Amino acid sequence: MQLFFCHTLNGSNASLNDEESRHLKVLRKQVGDSIACIDGKGNLLKCTILKIGKDHTDLQVDDCQFMPLERKYALHLLIAPTKNNERIEWMLEKAVECGIDVITFIETDHSEKHRINMSRLERIAISALKQSGRYYLPEIQSLQKLSDVQLEPCFFFAHCAEGNKNTLKDYFAQQSPQGNYQVLIGPEGDFSSAEIDRFYKIGGQGLSLGTGRLRTETAGLYIAMTFSALS
Amino acid sequence: MQLFFCHTLNGSNASLNDEESRHLKVLRKQVGDSIACIDGKGNLLKCTILKIGKDHTDLQVDDCQFMPLERKYALHLLIAPTKNNERIEWMLEKAVECGIDVITFIETDHSEKHRINMSRLERIAISALKQSGRYYLPEIQSLQKLSDVQLEPCFFFAHCAEGNKNTLKDYFAQQSPQGNYQVLIGPEGDFSSAEIDRFYKIGGQGLSLGTGRLRTETAGLYIAMTFSALS
């Protein structure tokens, strides 16, 4: 089933933005045709095309089915973007396929990347969402300083230094992931020792991601896939 | 520590191929310098450079340390290559980072890809191996027809059709992965119903990869990461 992503849904009215409207035209859809849409908030819609504009399409909602979230956990990944854009982009694509709720990009002591292209990341996330048959678009939060981030009690953080670390399998040996989890992943040069010390002091839980040394983007995806696999 | 990959190791003699020799020159290494090498078979070598040729470097092995494999399982992934080369290449890079033993590329009923670039894939695997700090290079087997592949008893296969399926967490609820495992992943259009019927008939175990629909390359990586996470 071909799915479209509607950016606005208001009762029986919905609309597609410029990108989705272009997609609609490529598929030669016309006024009066019926299409299936998701809104990224759990709604699966059956719509009739009312008007196809240059950068906007108006839809009438004929049916709206709410799809409850199947996961029992909510995963918030806080990750330093990689120097190479492509690497963080594919991490995002794959994390959306596996299920994730919030991604926050963070600037850390060793960060070398100070800008990200939010609109491109959002397009990638929407495309991955449609492809994966999921209904919930993760919230993507723009780059912010690590020191400005509100860390929840018992957040996880992965690092390569010495220190008290466990695997996610150890942490979830008694019970599958249930509830809200924050996981921090550092940049190519890892978190600084000052950052790691602070994390332990404020109650963070050190995370081991197995025996190999994972790249930043691999580590981010490892988190999303492991939560999915353990739940 | 800068690592080089040596393609031949014979007692106290080792050598680097053209690509690694170029890398050596970029780093301005000279005859008499000491370098660290891995051979992809568990050996960590300390070597002295004897001769730097145009496409070949001779080394004297001063010390050889054998690093035992830390994993208790051996994972053999059989996967249909994606139409887009990049997708299978990054899957390979990430699978090497997480640990994998054999990758066989397979041609299935719905395959649209009939050629792969083996030497490029091997270069990517070596680069990922050096970067990840692992010592075992997976064996990469060239494209072969699914019907020619020797399937072991109780192999796993992932598919999107109806049928008896469990997650890897279910299969390993009593005991972590230990031993040898074969896992099959189909192409973009999934395995055909004839292939799926045959798998079940010969004792294959259907695999569910969670609630979303994963792309081929995401599924392959999900397998490698999940085995790592569950072990």
Q: Give the pLDDT confidence of B166-211 residue by residue, as tens digits.
A: 999 999 999 999 999 999 999 999 999 999 999 999 999 999 998 8
Instruction: Give mean pLDDT, residues A206-222.
Output: 94
How many C-alpha atoms does A66 have within 13 Å on its Cβ side? 3
B117 token code pair: 């670039």
> pLDDT digit string (tens) for A33-44?
999 999 999 999
Q: Which of B108, B104, B135, B139 is nearest to B122 (CA)?
A: B139
Q: What is the pLDDT of residue A210?
A: 87
> pLDDT digit string (tens) for A164-201?
999 999 999 999 999 999 999 999 999 999 999 999 99
CA distance A12 to chain B (A): 28
CATH 3.40.1280.10 is right for the domain spanning A73-230: yes
> pLDDT digit string (tens) for A111-138?
999 999 999 999 999 999 999 999 999 9
CA distance B180 to chain A (A): 19
> pLDDT digit string (tens) for A133-157?
999 999 999 999 999 999 999 999 9
Q: What is the pLDDT of residue A54?
A: 85
Mutation site, B222, B223, B226, B230, interface A, largest A CB count within 10 A = B222
CB contact under 8 A, B210 and A228: yes
Residue B54 has pLDDT above 90, yes or no: no
What is the residue extent of each domain of chain A? 3-66, 73-230
Mutation site, A67, A213, A218, A227, interface B, largest B CB count within 10 A = A218
* Residue that is written with structure tokens 């055909």 in the block: B192
Torsion of CA B24, B25, B27, B28, to 10 degrees: 120
Concatenated DSSP letters for A27-88? TT--TT-EEEEE-SBSEEEEEEEEEE-SS-EEEEEEEEEE-----SEEEEEEEPPPSSHHHH
The H or E element spanning position B85 is helix B85-98
Instruction: Give per-residue burial for A94-129: e unless 16+ CB within 10 Å, then b.
Output: bbbbbbbbebbbbbbbebebeeeeeeebeebbbebb
CA distance A84 to chain B (A): 14
> pLDDT digit string (tens) for B101-127?
999 999 999 999 999 999 999 999 999
Instruction: Give per-residue burial for B69-94: e unless 16+ CB within 10 Å, then b.
Output: eebebbbbbbbbbbeeeebbbbbbbb
Q: What is the pLDDT of residue B172?
A: 94
Instruction: Give per-residue burial for B109-148: e unless 16+ CB within 10 Å, then b.
Output: bebebeeeeeeebeebbbebbbbbebbbbbebeebeebee
Residue of A nearest to B168 (CA): A229
| Predicted model pTM | 0.95
Residue of B90, B131, B228 lying closest to A210 (CB–CB): B228
Q: What is the pLDDT of residue A104?
A: 98
Q: What is the pLDDT of residue B212?
A: 86
Interface of A with B in 158-217 (CB under 8 A): 167-169, 210-215
Coil, strand or helix at B1 = coil
Residue B164 has pLDDT above 90, yes or no: yes
Q: What is the pLDDT of residue A90?
A: 94
> pLDDT digit string (tens) for A54-102?
899 999 999 999 999 989 999 999 999 999 999 999 999 999 999 999 9
CA distance A53 to chain B (A): 32
Q: How would CATH label the architecture of B3-66?
A: Beta Barrel (2.40)
Residue B152 has pLDDT above 90, yes or no: yes
Residue of B132, B133, B218 lying closest to A94 (CB–CB): B218
Q: Do domains B3-66 and B73-230 have the same CATH topology?
A: no
Mutation site, A98, A134, A156, interface B, largest B CB count within 10 A = A98
> pLDDT digit string (tens) for A2-49?
899 999 999 999 999 999 999 999 999 999 999 999 999 999 999 999
CB contact under 8 A, A98 and B167: no
Percent of chain A scored above 90 by pLDDT?
94
CA distances from A46 to A3, A57, A64 (A): 10, 14, 6
CB contact under 8 A, A212 and B71: no
Q: What is the pLDDT of residue B162?
A: 92
Residues 6+ apart with CB under 8 A from A201: none
CA distance B99 to chain A (A): 7
Cβ–Cβ under 8 Å, residues B225 and A226: yes
Pairing of strands B73-79, B102-107: parallel
> Quick check: ipTM above 0.90?
yes
Percent of chain B scored above 90 by pLDDT?
94
Give the pLDDT band of residue B216 (cuts 50, 70, 90). very high
Give the pLDDT band of residue B70 (cuts 50, 70, 90). confident
